[in-house]
Chain A
Amino acid sequence: MSEDIKVSIRGLYKIFGIDPEGALANVRAGMGKHELLEKRAHVLGLKDINIDMKAGEITVIMGLSGSGKSTLIRHLNRLIEPTAGEIWVDGDNVLDFTDDELRRLRQERMSMVFQKFALLPHRSVLENAGMALATRGYRREDYESEASHWLERVGLDGYGDHYPRQLSGGMQQRVGIARALTSNSEVMLMDEAFSALDPLIRTDMQDLLVKLQQELKKTIVFITHDLDEALKLADHLVILNDGCVVQQGEPQHILLKPADGYIEDFVSDINRARVLRVRSVMQQGNGGRDSFSGEVDHDDTLESVIAKAEGDVATRFRVLRDGEPVGTLEMSHLVRALVPTRASDDGVRSSAA
């Protein structure tokens, strides 16, 4: 296993029903989700999931409701037991853990942020933030400084003595994030953490997460059903449909080369300029020309380049990486990359229509 892979899921299956083992044999023999439900009355939750999550990256698992994404994230800390498969964290198979080891994993190495916040209503904000440490046996005076530090970092300075019900949804989720950060775990699981918030606050929280992540470099597993959110946060994007991984990889790549109709549907109506980056559409070398109207970084979004060019399609930019020129960006190429893909004919939308 390579050095920087923090969490790795191998051949994971989850089948819900009375006899999952028996149904597993059917699934391995090629029975599909609908057939399994009709013939054996078992629900196929997850089918042969293989994902590697690199340390310090945000892995976003995206799918519509019912795609199994929340089930998947709960396998990582074994809130749900898999039917088959392996889950490796730092070289340990979580499924081999005893109850004690598992508890220690949850207390020290993996924290979680929930869609509905799931704060303890009878404890103060500070006590909630320190929950992971209190669970490990720290007394209040021992975890107070740590918890206050993280509350301050998420923008809740001075709210320590409030109770969760006195805070707005966005603030409650900040407590949820502070709680996960206070545990000092390297892996953070975020289950639709921002889905219950209204759009403006959601953007705020995404920015907060990006800012914290730049500095903390945690290994984050983020679940969402919102593609814009996924593209904004993801270093590695996994798209899940009906319990299977449809496509995974760098978000840019998925956007430019959707694997099938299902993903085409997803990507057809997002703001491509905001997601695509210069490196995905530039050409290597300087193209034999040396008149440039400016310089852009290879990691800039196309949106920022358009702003720089003030909408002029005749311009051309030199692309730099770490200050070194690595290629050329023609505005005409850029515009071509922005041509929206149509929703595919055999995709989910046309069949729903």
Chain B
Amino acid sequence: MASYDVVFDTLGLRQWCDRDAGGGPMTMDQLLGRSAGGDEAAAKSLWELPFPSLDTLHQACNALPQTRNVTKGLEQLFLAAKDGLKVVLDPVTQPLSWLLDGSLFLVLNTPWFVIVPLLLAVVYAVSRSLRLVAFVALCIFALAFIDHYDHAMQTLSIIFVCAFLCVLLGVPIGIAMSRSDTMKRGTVPILDMLQTLPPFVYLIPLIFLFSVTESKLYGIAIILYAIVPVIRLTDLGIRQVDPDVVEAANAFGMTERQKLFGVQIPLALPTIMAGVNQTIMMSLAMVVIASLVSAPGLGVLVLRGIRNLELGVGLVAGLGIVLLAVILDRVTKASLQRINPEKTD
């Protein structure tokens, strides 16, 4: 009946194959084949020999699993591990939910005339540029004027929380990587995976692990996606510190600690800050996608635009995101300029 019958017959496995004959429902292919009414075996020449995939082999030998069993097996494995994982992950990640919920509550319940000046003060503190402050003010007022203030602030506060955590976790990981080649060899493949995995794919296991009503779900997705550049650039920055200067630090008897905080980190700071800039930009990209799993903010409006074909809503929210991106980029770059020790003044 099937193409590979011969193989199992010659190997003398026929009995083993037919032990539980006829088990399980048909695959879609079989069903289609039957409804077409063709007698498969007769029509097949050697030219049409199918690839010996699991499904094809299953036709010849019932004891072999079908591809759908693999998919199902993986799913069941994941579901079986889920409860165990949750016991560990839930308490560890719970503070993330609190942080996100807390910051969202804070920005939405503090009046705009407190939040906006506060933001502008922060911008001035890190950039020392009044022109930039004016630009940021203009952008925020424009967004607020078209009633996108709440959404924009939600997006911003999620980015702040996630980028802050990325730096908090990423910089130490990057430092560890720069100090140990073994650590680097172990970490780089993970970073590569995180960076190449399509953002949507992150969401799949997370949806199973956590309830969609929990904010940590999108928090984790954003952090995983955005943490990569800050780790990579911290490692790079520290490895790039002039070896002569490090040697001088050794020659004058600095301890590892003095060397790290007195020499390596200060000299790597411009590179680390470039990583922070990238991390913030990637958080912004992910926060939009994360609106699929209930992240509030401008992303929700974009999603609404797509779902309901409300072209205007989507476009305006999209432009709002562009504005936020420009603001974040300018402000981090300006602060980067300011701390760069190579610049002359």
Could you tell me which residues of chain A, from 77 to 122, have a CB within 8 Å of some CB in chain B? Answer: 77, 79, 102-108, 111-112, 114, 116-122
CB < 8 Å: which of B250, B253, B262 contacts A104? B253
Could you tell me which residues of chain B, from 240 to 264, have a CB within 8 Å of some CB in chain A? Answer: 242, 244-245, 247-255, 258, 262-263
B341: interface (CB < 8 Å):
yes
Which A residues lie within 8 Å of B251 (CB)? 77, 79, 106, 111-112, 114, 189
| B344 A166 Cβ-Cβ under 8 A | yes
Beta-carbon nearest neighbor of A103 in chain B: B253
Could you tell me which residues of chain A, from 179 to 220, have a CB within 8 Å of some CB in chain B? Answer: 179, 183, 189
Which B residues lie within 8 Å of A106 (CB)? 250-253
B91 to chain A, nearest CB (A): 39
Distance of A131 Cα from B267 Cα, bound (Å): 16
A176 to chain B, nearest CB (A): 9
| B263 A79 Cβ-Cβ under 8 A | no
* Chain B window 172-190, contacts with chain A (Cβ cutoff 8 Å), 1 for yes, 0 for no: 0000000000000000000
A132: interface (CB < 8 Å):
yes
CB < 8 Å: which of A102, A112, A116, A165 contacts B252? A112
A135: interface (CB < 8 Å):
yes
Which B residues lie within 8 Å of A79 (CB)? 247, 250-251
B266: interface (CB < 8 Å):
yes
Beta-carbon nearest neighbor of B344 in chain A: A165
CB < 8 Å: which of B253, B266, B267 contacts A135? B253
| A135 B244 Cβ-Cβ under 8 A | no
CB < 8 Å: which of B242, B254, B255, B266 contacts A118? B242
B324 to chain A, nearest CB (A): 32
| B254 A135 Cβ-Cβ under 8 A | yes
Which A residues lie within 8 Å of B252 (CB)? 106-107, 111-112, 131-132, 135, 179, 183
Distance of A137 Cα from B248 Cα, bound (Å): 17
Beta-carbon nearest neighbor of B242 in chain A: A118
* Chain A window 310-351, contacts with chain B (Cβ cutoff 8 Å), 1 for yes, 0 for no: 000000000000000000000000000000000000000000
Which B residues lie within 8 Å of A103 (CB)? 253, 255
B342: interface (CB < 8 Å):
yes
Distance of A107 Cα from B266 Cα, bound (Å): 22
Distance of A131 Cα from B247 Cα, bound (Å): 13
| B342 A114 Cβ-Cβ under 8 A | no
Distance of A122 Cα from B253 Cα, bound (Å): 19
Distance of A120 Cα from B263 Cα, bound (Å): 7
| A118 B245 Cβ-Cβ under 8 A | yes
Distance of A131 Cα from B344 Cα, bound (Å): 22
| A114 B248 Cβ-Cβ under 8 A | yes
Distance of A85 Cα from B258 Cα, bound (Å): 31
Which B residues lie within 8 Å of A122 (CB)? 266-267, 341
B270 to chain A, nearest CB (A): 10
Distance of A116 Cα from B242 Cα, bound (Å): 10
Which A residues lie within 8 Å of B341 (CB)? 121-122
Report the interface size for chain A: residues with CB under 8 A from the other chain.
Answer: 28
Distance of A81 Cα from B253 Cα, bound (Å): 15
Beta-carbon nearest neighbor of A77 in chain B: B251
Distance of A107 Cα from B259 Cα, bound (Å): 13
CB < 8 Å: which of B254, B255, B262, B267 contacts A121? B267
CB < 8 Å: which of B245, B253, B255, B263 contacts A105? B253
CB < 8 Å: which of A104, A114, A179, A183 contacts B247? A114
A323 to chain B, nearest CB (A): 44
Beta-carbon nearest neighbor of A176 in chain B: B248
Which A residues lie within 8 Å of B249 (CB)? 120
Beta-carbon nearest neighbor of B340 in chain A: A122
Distance of A132 Cα from B341 Cα, bound (Å): 21
Which B residues lie within 8 Å of A120 (CB)? 245, 248-249, 262-263, 267
Which A residues lie within 8 Å of B250 (CB)? 79, 106
| A118 B247 Cβ-Cβ under 8 A | yes
| B263 A135 Cβ-Cβ under 8 A | no
Distance of A245 Cα from B255 Cα, bound (Å): 34
Which B residues lie within 8 Å of A132 (CB)? 252-253
A102 to chain B, nearest CB (A): 8
Name the residue among B245, B255, B342 with the largest chain A CB count within 10 angstroms: B245
Distance of A280 Cα from B294 Cα, bound (Å): 92
Beta-carbon nearest neighbor of B266 in chain A: A122
A291 to chain B, nearest CB (A): 58
Distance of A103 Cα from B259 Cα, bound (Å): 13
Which A residues lie within 8 Å of B262 (CB)? 120
Beta-carbon nearest neighbor of B258 in chain A: A135
Distance of A107 Cα from B277 Cα, bound (Å): 38
Name the residue among A117, A119, A121, A136 with the largest chain B CB count within 10 angstroms: A121
Distance of A118 Cα from B267 Cα, bound (Å): 13
* Chain B window 226-248, contacts with chain A (Cβ cutoff 8 Å), 1 for yes, 0 for no: 00000000000000001011011
Distance of A166 Cα from B251 Cα, bound (Å): 24
Which A residues lie within 8 Å of B344 (CB)? 165-166
Distance of A112 Cα from B252 Cα, bound (Å): 7
* Chain A window 118-143, contacts with chain B (Cβ cutoff 8 Å), 1 for yes, 0 for no: 11111000000001100110000000
A70 to chain B, nearest CB (A): 11
| B248 A112 Cβ-Cβ under 8 A | yes
Which B residues lie within 8 Å of A112 (CB)? 248, 251-252
B340 to chain A, nearest CB (A): 10
Could you tell me which residues of chain A, from 131 to 159, have a CB within 8 Å of some CB in chain B? Answer: 131-132, 135-136
Name the residue among B253, B342, B344 with the largest chain A CB count within 10 angstroms: B253
Distance of A108 Cα from B253 Cα, bound (Å): 9
Which B residues lie within 8 Å of A102 (CB)? 253
B3 to chain A, nearest CB (A): 55
| A165 B253 Cβ-Cβ under 8 A | no
Which A residues lie within 8 Å of B254 (CB)? 135
6 examples of A-B residue contacts, CB within 8 angstroms: A112-B248, A114-B251, A122-B341, A135-B252, A135-B258, A183-B252
7 tightest A-B contacts by CB?
Answer: A106-B253, A107-B253, A118-B248, A122-B341, A112-B251, A118-B244, A103-B253
**Given contact pairs A114-B248, A114-B251, A132-B253, a sample of 13 additional A-B residue pairs in the complex whose CB atoms are under 8 Å apart:** A79-B251, A106-B251, A106-B253, A112-B252, A114-B247, A116-B244, A118-B247, A120-B245, A120-B249, A121-B245, A122-B267, A135-B252, A183-B252
